[in-house]
Amino acid sequence: MSDQASRLKALLDKENYPSVYLFKFIVKNDLSKVVDIKRCFDETAEFETHPSRNGNYISVSIKQMMLNSDDILVRYERVSKIKNVIVL
């Protein structure tokens, strides 16, 4: 596990679970990337997308019930394998 992932896990471990977690990502205006991100989550997840002012990027917000910090890190790991996705 990377140092950044270890720090995030330490922060997430302080939360009470299960709870709804908000994931945020930014991608270039490429709907196939949005679909790839959606595939990393369950069908119960709530998705919102918003184009940037100039239409060059799309922000993707996802709310999903997470059972523990490891579930959150698994989702981040899946999305991190998609090229040109910015994790917020």
Distance CA 49, CA 16 (A): 27
Q: Quick: pLDDT tens for 44-86.
A: 999 999 999 999 999 999 999 999 999 999 999 999 999 999 9
Q: Is the pLDDT assigned to residue 1 strictly greater than 70? A: no
CATH assignment of 3-87?
3.30.70.260
Task: Say which residue the tokens 């977690």 belong to.
Answer: 21
Q: Where are the domains of the chain?
A: 3-87
Cut 0.85: pTM above it: yes
pLDDT at 4: 86
Distance CA 65, CA 25 (A): 17
Q: Quick: pLDDT tens for 28-39.
A: 999 999 999 999
pLDDT at 9: 92
